Structure 1
Amino acid sequence: MAEIRVPRLEKGQTKIKNVPIAVTPEGFWCCPSPGVFQKPFKPQPSLNKAKQPSQNSSIQPKKVSINEVKSGPTNAGLLVVDEKRANGSDAIVLNAPLSNEKAGRPGPNKVENMPRKVTIEYGEAGTGDLKVILLGKQGITVKLSVHRSILVENSSFFATRISEQQPVFPCLEIDNCDDVEIYAETIGLMYCQEMKQQLIKQSVPRVLRILKVGERLGFTKCIRSCLEYLEAVPWVGEDEEEKVVASVTRLEGHGIGVGAVLKRVSSVTEKPPKDTLCRILELVLESKEEKGRREMKSIVLKLLRGTSSSSADGSCNETIFAAFQASLDSLLSLFRQAAEAKLDDKPMSVRETAAKPIALQADNLLWMLDILSDRQAGDDVAVIWANQRELVSIHSGIPVVVRHYVSLVSARIFVLIGQGAVLSCKETRHSLLNLWLPPLIDDYKWLQHGCRLFDRDVVEEGIGRTILTLPMEDQRALLLSWLGSFLTNGDGCPNLQRAFEVWWRRALARPAAAAAARVD
């Protein structure tokens, strides 16, 4: 970093703040750091010294040789002025005409509240033939000493404004600049031959600001350089991605190629979402690596929840239902094979081998059941499951170590109905309980001890609540059947005592109380 240093001046003289200037690989003197535009200038008390500089002395920006401009690097000096100059000829005051004013010294309490004035000189000092004055909305005024030919060559905005000047004036004013700092930096980029080198050290938000100003100025070279930068760098976070896409999309109708940037988020040849989702489900459902499968199931479930209200719901649900039916068909085929193999007479190792693919398909069904219930389509799954009579008929002929995974699906459906997440009709609920509750009771002991994620309390609550949604006659038949199993198997049977108590109150206590009231 290079730094311009000037001696301290006394009261009545110009107060100049030291400004850090960064030298780029090309020799371009960058715009002051944001702190120059944002931090207020504080007055410093003067010191009485034996020798004081003359009040008529002038201070010039750092000068560079004109030969450096010809050979490649371009330099700009900077001078930041904190209050009116002593002679008053170059004063820059916000919302004031650019005319000579009397030299005046502000009071000590007014210095910090005065509008900040910044002077920036591009190219070789003293060679500029045009003054561009930027009037910022935050009370900042920036005067740029520039070269008319460079602005006309690079900016359609300046080319139009300058051509409209009749006669030609040495000053051009831009009002209501919402980002003075970036305006100054973007104009400075017109002096760069390798603009990419200037942008490479910037952040994405700052380049978006430069892109916005470049668009307003009609600075095509700058716009293209910003697009090249945005195409190459990563975008961090969804918020930044949305800002990039919005900024770039705004340029689509201006004849500037933005396709390279937008291809990161969209593609003309992209396959339909249905095909992509189908492929994702296929990869997850066929995976046998436990850790990766578990993590991807969680991610896909979360992402699908985030799109559950999109217009593509119908197509997405159809794809998931197709995958659910495919897994159900595979499960039925595995049950048939297990029944034909007569696994009761085979050693435990053979049974465990036969159980693995059944466990995989049952896990797939559970995952897709959760997805569809989140998308308000779980009632259709309940209808499908209530019609699996062949699966139930084969169930009892297969060893429990092989078959019990299927009862997890039944238990999950009962839990969803009990929680009100699946709204099935009375006939479906009745069919589910009549068809799948007996197999579930038969497998209950294995479910408790063989499945680490099995939550007995939740399952029993779900079964009981599902039973209590039926008419009283159906409640009586189901609970009396359960009572016989519970008295026989004890802890190896679901404990539906809460549901039994509710049914007892409905069937016996309430009628008895009503009869007693009538007698009275």
Structure 2
Amino acid sequence: MIPTNPKKRQRVPHHSTSMRHPSSADLTRSDSSQKLRRSNSNASFNEGVFVRRATPADSSSFNDATTADVILRLYVDHDTPFAADDSAGEDDVQIYLHSDVLRRSKYFAALLSDRWQNPNLNNGVDSKNNNNSNCSRFICLSFGVSANKPNSISNHETVLELLYTDNFSSVINNVSTALDLLPVALELLFEDCVKACVRFIEAVPWTEEEEKRVIETIPFLREEESRELLLRITAEDDSCEDMLHGLILVAIHNHPNMAFVKAFVAKLLRDFSSRESARRVLERAFEETLKIVKGSLEEYSSPDFRGDETEAIERLNLHIAMTNGRHLLWLVERMVELRVADNAVKEWSEQPAFTADLQRAIRDDAWRNIVPGLPGILMKSTCKLANAVTAGTILAARQVRMKLVKDWLPVLIVCKDNASPLLPSHKTLYLELEQTFLRIISTLPMSDSQELLQQCLSFSTKNVDDCPHLVTAFNTWFRRATRPPQADDDDG
């Protein structure tokens, strides 16, 4: 994560530039230890003092040899950043510039101040190192650019040309260009260009590759310049979980196109990088939704109201239970899918009061006309969790497995006895849950399975051949019960 308050580097002059006379070379060497503090972007050095910069004269134009007083040689520095190569290379570029315009760059303002303070240095020219016959009237400079950056010469030319205008938008018109020019503007301490690049980068979208470059550039910006960029790419430690939780709540409660939104949020959860974060978010939503379902059934089963409002409130409570029961099933499906339902199974197995309220509600005839699908929707959640236990995707402890069957087996029996005639989908669901409960019972100690199997006699049908799962469960129990005890090691 990018630090929100890094120690920003002070911008210092580039050290590979040299003036071609002894005193200016000394200045260039001393630049490596000198730190220039940035102030108002409209200020520059003039004879060693910060002054308000003047607008460049209309007669000054970029690379105009007739009016220029500075010749700048841009060359590719293949050695150290402090080396000034005197030999001309094929990639070198010579540019005619104006000292009054260069003052917009604090770097050049500081570099040229030596000449302004020492006007008797033969125009600041070391004729031995300069072959240009016109150097007698020019200040001749060389500036080394990095060989490791693509288009480095071209980018420096562009920034130098921007010294001659305030219309940065004509050049800085895409993120890639802004990111190319920003390091050069920082290098030359060209404040107006730095601000224009940062302002453009902050205001427009980025590609993933551009975002990486922005992150690499941020440490070189001042705190106030990087603040908006940091807000865009950094967040609190728990913000991802808050975001996922909010998406889940919107998907299951507030969005009209619920089915499509649920499918999209399910994909986000599957693709999320942190499985533990997804677990915490789903468990939080599961507990909140389960609390609503439990509360509505408790109020329905044990009303504390009287009078004409009774029927209306009963209907309301049943509808709340039904709606949130659907949400609960979706959450259970997501948890099982992501294999993070361990705590949900444990929570579901510790609901004696909830299952008791549910049994009372099912025995009442009112739900059939109001929410006929309520028993089935809650038993689907039970079936999803129980199947995950038998499949081994949830490794539940013995006590959890026993309590899961002990609390929810009576609900299954009541659902079958009070849902007549059974809907085809419910009949299939209940049969699947019978088989699953019997398989879980087979994983319990003999004494526990003996007690629970006796409650499963209601699974039997008129034709014994129609309930093979029940026959198999009892045959398994009796086979184990009649097996001779294992001999001790001492008995050989």
TM-score by length of 1: 0.56
Counterpart CA distance in 1 for 2:99 and 2:411 is: 88
SS at match of 2:173: coil
Tell me what 2:354 maps to.
Answer: 391
Counterpart CA distance in 2 for 1:151 and 1:459 is: 84
In the alignment, which of 440, 444, 461 is matched to residue 466 of structure 1? 440
Preserved CA contact (<8 Å) 2:69 2:97: yes
User: Alignment RMSD, CA only?
Assistant: 5.2
Counterpart CA distance in 2 for 1:164 and 1:310 is: 63
> CA, structure 1 residues 191+240, in 2 after alignment: closer, same or farther (shift >3 Å)?
closer
The residue identity in structure 1 corresponding to 2:226 is V
The residue identity in structure 2 corresponding to 1:412 is K
> CA, structure 1 residues 294+339, in 2 after alignment: closer, same or farther (shift >3 Å)?
farther
- Give yes or no for the alignment of 1:131 onto 2:101: no
Tell me what 1:433 maps to.
Answer: 405
The residue identity in structure 1 corresponding to 2:272 is G
In the alignment, which of 225, 250, 253 is matched to residue 286 of structure 1? 253
Alpha-carbon shift at residue 259 of structure 1 (Å) = 2.2
- Give yes or no for the alignment of 1:258 onto 2:229: no
Alignment of 1:165-184 (within 5 A): 168=125, 170-174=140-144, 176-184=146-154
In the alignment, which of 329, 351, 360 is matched to residue 366 of structure 1? 329
- Give yes or no for the alignment of 1:407 onto 2:372: no
Counterpart CA distance in 2 for 1:273 and 1:227 is: 27
Alpha-carbon shift at residue 145 of structure 1 (Å) = 1.4
- Give yes or no for the alignment of 1:249 onto 2:218: yes
> CA, structure 1 residues 324+233, in 2 after alignment: closer, same or farther (shift >3 Å)?
same
> CA, structure 1 residues 480+258, in 2 after alignment: closer, same or farther (shift >3 Å)?
same
TM-score by length of 2: 0.59
Unaligned runs of 5+ in 1: 1-68, 76-121, 516-520
Counterpart CA distance in 2 for 1:196 and 1:414 is: 66
Describe the superposition over 1:132-175 as per-residue Cα deviations: whole angstroms up to 9, x where unpaired: 233177x9824141416267424344555666899546241415
SS at match of 1:250: helix
Alignment of 1:182-193 (within 5 A): 182-192=152-162, 193=165
Describe the superposition over 1:36-74 as per-residue Cα deviations: whole angstroms up to 9, x where unpaired: xxxxxxxxxxxxxxxxxxxxxxxxxxxxxxxxx965995
In the alignment, which of 163, 169, 173 is matched to residue 201 of structure 1? 173
Preserved CA contact (<8 Å) 1:135 1:175: yes
SS at match of 1:174: strand
- Give yes or no for the alignment of 1:145 onto 2:114: no
Tell me what 2:50 maps to.
Answer: none
> CA, structure 1 residues 340+255, in 2 after alignment: closer, same or farther (shift >3 Å)?
closer
Alignment of 1:410-489 (within 5 A): 410-440=382-412, 443=415, 449-450=424-425, 463=437, 465-475=439-449, 477-478=451-452, 481-482=455-456, 484-488=458-462
What is the count of residue pairs matched by the alignment?
A: 383
> CA, structure 1 residues 242+317, in 2 after alignment: closer, same or farther (shift >3 Å)?
farther
> CA, structure 1 residues 263+458, in 2 after alignment: closer, same or farther (shift >3 Å)?
farther
Alpha-carbon shift at residue 273 of structure 1 (Å) = 7.4
> CA, structure 1 residues 216+361, in 2 after alignment: closer, same or farther (shift >3 Å)?
same
Describe the superposition over 1:448-486 as per-residue Cα deviations: whole angstroms up to 9, x where unpaired: 74589x989986775455334322444455456546514
SS at match of 2:103: helix
Tell me what 1:306 maps to.
Answer: 272
Alignment of 1:45-84 (within 5 A): 71=58
The residue identity in structure 2 corresponding to 1:413 is L
Counterpart CA distance in 2 for 1:134 and 1:502 is: 87
Name which structure has the greater RCO, CA cutoff 8 Å, separation 6+. 2
Preserved CA contact (<8 Å) 1:414 1:463: yes
Counterpart CA distance in 2 for 1:490 and 1:222 is: 88
Describe the superposition over 1:324-360 as per-residue Cα deviations: whole angstroms up to 9, x where unpaired: 353233442464389999xxxx9xxx99997643331
Determine what percentage of the aligned residue pairs are the same residue: 17
